[in-house]
Chain A
Amino acid sequence: MIKLLLIGIKDLKLMFRDRAALVFMLLAPFLLTIGMGFVTGRFSGGSSGLSDIPVVIVNLDKQDLGNALEDLFNSADLADMMEPLDSHNVDPEAARHLIDNDKASAAIIIPEGFTESIIPADGAMLDPNYVQPEPVKIEVYANPSSPTSAGVVKAIVDEFISRVEEGRTSGMTSIVGLMTSGLVNPQDMASEAKASFQNVDQVESTALKLKTNQEGADAVDFDMLSYFAPGMALMFLMYTVSYGGRSILAERAQGTLPRLMISPTQTFQVLGGKVLGIFFMGVAQVGILILASTIFFQVKWGDALGVTVLILAAVFGASGWGMLITSLARTPAQVGSTGSAIMLIFGIMGGSFINLESFPPFMQTISKITPNAWGLDGFTTLALGGTLKNLAEPITALLVMGAVLFAIAVVIFNRNGLVQK
């Protein structure tokens, strides 16, 4: 056991002396985590990276509803999300030109007569020749290179229109009902109609309430960095385990492995020590990254025992892959390049870059071969308030993965005579 530990610790020391490897194992995932923090709005206090979306509003309507929509985009509620550009003396063409030149995410063009197409003008309903005007459409001119921001702008406009429609339906239902009941004098009709359509954009139905789990006492405050920080750590963990595996072949090439074999050390002790070294490297790497995320970004990881066990299991699973790659390679360079390729493939398949939900179901199934997917599943469970007992599935999967891959690697090592004395 002491020999195992000595060999493992020796490899760990060698890793910490290799500055180039350290940069890649620790600095790269750390910098990418910072980038993810920006994207997700983690450092700007938002629930997404979106803030201060530049929008141009051209209000040609200049009446109640047009003004209400303009006020909405300038309101305090949307102050963080929206940044309406100064659009005085900006005509629709100029607004579109601003979007085409990438100066804003979207332009909202409220045409003349928009209000009148929804709220009849004074006395209009009394006019026997009154004809409902053609619907006038608000134009959302979207910047194709800012699809998310433009989508948010459109959603806000849709929400506004939805309220307006609700108010219009309510007003018209009341007025028509009173008219058919003969309870409105013709002379009172105009004022009744006006009253019914007042604040048409502020009507809020209360007949059916929507309760969400994002509010109230049961709401979970989920930190996106507790997903992306381990995501990046797990991705670069694949590099680390292949780096460790590379050292086995390097030792053989340099002649130090045969020397170890003729010392009074059993084969399993030598290989076991090397594997232990890889395991130590992985644990050190993920541990340091998690510690750094805690110190620098105040990421809350959840149950400490769960985090510890999950790290050990994830490193074990990844080490299995590292050993398999090593057993199949002939040279250290092959291990390095294959390891880097596997790192990137597992990174994207395992959800380190984008949420697995974006993938079709078969891809989600295939992702289960990666330690990244299981590890991220576990870290997310912990971040959502889970504990060690909720991690049975990912931990079991990682341990089985590691054990199976180690077994296959040992068979291949024996067949290739890697550890012959």
Chain B
Amino acid sequence: MKKIFAIAWKDAIIRFASKSELIFFIILPVVFTFLLAGGTPSGDDDNRIRLLVVDEAQTPISQQILAELENSTAVRSEVASRDEAQKQFDDRRASAVFIIPTGIDIASLQNASAEVELLQQPNNINATIAERAVQTAIRRVSSAISAAQSAVKQREAKQAFASEVDKQAYFESSLKLAQSIQEDAPERVTVVEGLTEDEVDYDPRSNSSAGQLITWVFIPLFGISALFAYERQQGTLRRLLTTPSRKATFLLGTISGQVVMALIQMLLLVGFGILVMKLNWGREPLALFVLLLCSALAAAAFGTTMGTFIKTEGQASGLSVMFGMVFAMMGGCWYPLELFPPAVQNAVKILPTTWAMQGMLDLGLRGGGLIDILPEAGVLLGFAVIFFSVGVMRFRFE
């Protein structure tokens, strides 16, 4: 036990000999978590998509459209001049610009010649959402006109109007009626968040926090391979052959030391999530600890196996960062797995990051507990067993 502790302590000293290690240990993970979570604001902010609106018509109809946009849950309209809006659009500082040109009034809507314009940045999801919001707003405004026009047609089919004045009066009364029917329309859709109602406050920032935690902890654990390579290059592994220390003691000391450091790093990041970002990681501490421990073991095992294939410290450093980043991305730590094609979603189940992330989401987003994360923890332990077995079998001092 003393030997194991001594080896673990030696590795900690080596790792933190350079102060820059702290950048990777805590500073960068915190910065990334904060910035990426900032991309998914919590419910306290107005996180609607900014939509620039150019109102050149300045008519009651354009005002109605603006009023409808004000009620949108998806976009936050901001009125601007055409030049300013065009400049922001050209500079790609605005996802979408909605232009209501001159001449948009009741008359133009009645003779179906009215056309408004939406400029969208290509392949931009915010612009797509803005388009839906604009469609909804203009549909509400124009549908009242269409309803009134339809009423006039049906009335005319039954009996011709005595004069154009009568026809216009009928149209206007129908328009008022249609607008009042619209205003009185009840809500017909309700959205319920699965398994989080009354249990967990849904917070999309949990996704960013979990993803960054896994990313930044897995990379140094994969870097165990660099530790082995460094010791081999220095010749210190060969010296161990002359001491009464077994291979298992050395491996246990190195791996357990790195796993403990990973757990400390994880707890710091979880603490940051709870204290600074007000996330609900502290709801099921035992389940969280089990999941973090299993994740750390799986990553450490992978790093151990890597260390038996890689010859130099430089190779190990580069590959551990590369594998860490690629595994994180493909495991859903950077972007939700739902964005990947179904075949890829199935294929990435061979990565430990996928299971670690799934477990974190079960805890943070789905209100799960210890029982719910046991499948993920089991798979992660399975990874650990397989990779540790390969690593220990292949391990050589020279």
Contact surface of A with B, Cβ cutoff 8 Å: 18-21, 23-24, 27-28, 31-32, 35-36, 38-41, 43-44, 47-53, 96, 99-100, 102, 105, 118, 135-149, 154-155, 157-159, 161-162, 164-166, 168-170, 172-174, 176-178, 181, 183-184, 196, 203, 205-214, 220-224, 333-334, 337-338, 340-341, 344-345, 348-349, 353-355, 357-360, 363-364, 377, 380, 384
Specify which of A27, A44, A174, A176 is in contact with B341 (CB 8 Å cutoff). Answer: A44
A24 touches B322 (CB 8 A): yes
B37 → A minimal CB distance (Å): 11
B166 → A minimal CB distance (Å): 11
Question: What 7 A-B pairs have minimum CB-CB distances, sorted nearest first?
Answer: A222-B122, A49-B339, A358-B39, A135-B186, A208-B142, A24-B318, A337-B20
B19 → A minimal CB distance (Å): 9
Specify which of B112, B315, B334, B338 is in contact with A148 (CB 8 Å cutoff). Answer: B338
Q: Which partner residue on chain A sits nearest B204 by CB separation?
A: A147
Task: Count A-B contacts at CB 8 Å.
Answer: 303
Q: Could you tell me the distance between the alpha carbons of A348 and B196 in the complex, rounded to whole angstroms?
A: 31
A137 touches B190 (CB 8 A): yes
B150 touches A35 (CB 8 A): no
B336 sits at the interface (CB 8 A): yes
Specify which of B144, B178, B195, B361 is in contact with A100 (CB 8 Å cutoff). Answer: B195
A205 touches B143 (CB 8 A): yes
Specify which of B116, B129, B191 is in contact with A208 (CB 8 Å cutoff). Answer: B116
Residues in chain A near residue B115, CB distance under 8 A = 208-211
Q: If A43-B341, A341-B24, A380-B92 touch, does A212 touch B146 (CB 8 Å cutoff)? A: no
Q: Which partner residue on chain A sits nearest B334 by CB separation?
A: A353
B187 touches A210 (CB 8 A): no
B2 sits at the interface (CB 8 A): no
Specify which of A49, A207, A358 is in contact with B146 (CB 8 Å cutoff). Answer: A207
B193 touches A142 (CB 8 A): yes
Q: Could you tell me the distance between the alpha carbons of A84 and B226 in the complex, rounded to whole angstroms?
A: 48
Residues in chain A near residue B39, CB distance under 8 A = 354, 358-359
Specify which of A18, A105, A144, A170 is in contact with B196 (CB 8 Å cutoff). Answer: A144
22 of the cross-chain contacts (CB-CB < 8 Å) are: A21-B318, A28-B321, A35-B329, A49-B340, A138-B188, A144-B194, A144-B196, A145-B362, A145-B365, A148-B338, A161-B188, A165-B188, A166-B143, A170-B151, A170-B178, A176-B177, A205-B145, A207-B149, A209-B116, A344-B28, A354-B36, A358-B40
User: Which chain B residues (174-202) contact chain A, with CB distance < 8 Å?
Assistant: 174, 177-178, 181-182, 185-196, 202
Q: Could you tell me the distance between the alpha carbons of A173 and B154 in the complex, rounded to whole angstroms?
A: 10
Of B132-140, B253-261, B283-291, B385-393, the stretch lying at the interface with chain A is B132-140
Residues in chain B near residue A23, CB distance under 8 A = 315, 318-319, 322
A162 touches B116 (CB 8 A): no
B181 touches A169 (CB 8 A): yes
Q: If A170-B178, A177-B155, A211-B118 touch, does A357 touch B95 (CB 8 Å cutoff)? A: yes
Q: C-beta contact mask, B328-349 vs A, less than 8 Å → 1, else 0? A: 0110001110111110100000
B228 → A minimal CB distance (Å): 15
B38 sits at the interface (CB 8 A): yes
B174 touches A173 (CB 8 A): yes
Give the size of the chain B interface in residues (CB under 8 angstroms). Answer: 104
A384 touches B118 (CB 8 A): no
A388 → B minimal CB distance (Å): 17
B304 sits at the interface (CB 8 A): no
Q: Could you tell me the distance between the alpha carbons of A24 and B181 in the complex, rounded to whole angstroms?
A: 63
Residues in chain A near residue B6, CB distance under 8 A = none
Q: If A207-B112, A334-B18 touch, does A212 touch B139 (CB 8 Å cutoff)? A: no
Q: If A169-B178, A344-B28, A348-B36 touch, does A31 touch B322 (CB 8 Å cutoff)? A: yes
Q: Which partner residue on chain A sits nearest B95 by CB separation?
A: A357
Q: Could you tell me the distance between the alpha carbons of A51 and B345 in the complex, rounded to whole angstroms?
A: 11
Q: Could you tell me the distance between the alpha carbons of A223 and B352 in the complex, rounded to whole angstroms?
A: 31
A360 touches B146 (CB 8 A): no
B336 touches A148 (CB 8 A): yes
Q: Which partner residue on chain A sits nearest B98 by CB separation?
A: A210
B109 touches A144 (CB 8 A): no
Q: Which partner residue on chain B sits nearest A141 by CB separation?
A: B192
A37 → B minimal CB distance (Å): 10
User: Which chain B residues (72-95) contact chain A, with CB distance < 8 Å?
Assistant: 92-93, 95
Q: Could you tell me the distance between the alpha carbons of A23 and B319 in the complex, rounded to whole angstroms?
A: 7
Residues in chain A near residue B340, CB distance under 8 A = 38-39, 49
Residues in chain B near residue A178, CB distance under 8 A = 151, 154-155, 158
A152 → B minimal CB distance (Å): 10
B116 touches A210 (CB 8 A): yes
A337 touches B21 (CB 8 A): yes
Q: C-beta contact mask, B237-273 vs A, less than 8 Å → 1, else 0? A: 0000000000000000000000000000000000000
B324 → A minimal CB distance (Å): 10
Residues in chain A near residue B174, CB distance under 8 A = 173, 177
Residues in chain A near residue B350, CB distance under 8 A = none
Q: If A38-B340, A208-B109 touch, does A384 touch B122 (CB 8 Å cutoff)? A: yes
Q: Could you tell me the distance between the alpha carbons of A168 and B226 in the complex, rounded to whole angstroms?
A: 68
Q: Which partner residue on chain B sits nearest A157 by CB separation?
A: B189
Q: Could you tell me the distance between the alpha carbons of A161 and B139 in the complex, rounded to whole angstroms?
A: 12
A282 → B minimal CB distance (Å): 17
Q: Which partner residue on chain B sits nearest A181 by CB separation?
A: B155
A50 touches B120 (CB 8 A): no
B126 sits at the interface (CB 8 A): yes
Q: Which partner residue on chain B sits nearest A220 by CB separation?
A: B122
Of B177, B188, B366, most A-chain CB atoms within 10 Å: B188
A35 touches B178 (CB 8 A): no
B365 → A minimal CB distance (Å): 4
Of A20, A21, A334, A359, most B-chain CB atoms within 10 Å: A20
A212 touches B120 (CB 8 A): yes
Residues in chain B near residue A44, CB distance under 8 A = 341
Q: Could you tell me the distance between the alpha carbons of A10 and B99 in the complex, rounded to whole angstroms?
A: 57
Residues in chain B near residue A172, CB distance under 8 A = 177, 181
Q: A43-B341, A208-B109 are in contact. List 4 more A-B contacts (CB 8 A).
A: A31-B322, A38-B339, A137-B189, A208-B116
Q: Could you tell me the distance between the alpha carbons of A142 and B142 in the complex, rounded to whole angstroms?
A: 31
Specify which of A32, A102, A341, A377 is in contact with B329 (CB 8 Å cutoff). Answer: A32
A337 touches B144 (CB 8 A): no
Residues in chain B near residue A196, CB distance under 8 A = 154
Residues in chain A near residue B339, CB distance under 8 A = 38-41, 48-50, 148
A20 touches B192 (CB 8 A): no
B209 sits at the interface (CB 8 A): no
